[in-house]
Amino acid sequence: EIGKDPRPFGTHSFRRGGCQYLAMVRRWHIRDVCLWGGWSTRSDNPSTVWKYLSSIVDTPNVQRQDFFNPYRLGTAPCTHCRRTCHCA
């Protein structure tokens, strides 16, 4: 779909990047991400999707104490709605 040959990269890179992009940037619901990736949508079997969304090697973007900090700095403006809040 993006016009790149996946062979030099392996499909894992595209699946992980696509999964994270759809969930975190496009704000897709987790069920839709599972359907896109071909993963189970059963809530009693979270499946592989969690390995693609989060990894022990990922760097946390937010410190735990800042999640509900009302004075936390905003983010880059959303390209769709132009909001700078963290929920955009």
Average pLDDT in the chain: 77
User: 3-state DSSP call for residue 26?
Assistant: coil
Q: How confident is the model at residue 44, as a pLDDT?
A: 66
Q: How confident is the model at residue 43, as a pLDDT?
A: 65
Distance CA 15, CA 44 (A): 22
Q: How confident is the model at residue 37, as a pLDDT?
A: 83
Residue-wise pLDDT tens digits, 53-88? 877 767 677 788 888 888 887 777 777 777 776 665
Asked whether the beta carbons of 39 and 49 are under 8 A apart, the reply is yes
List the domain boundaries for the chain.
1-55
Distance CA 50, CA 54 (A): 6
Distance CA 2, CA 20 (A): 16
Average pLDDT over residues 42-54: 72
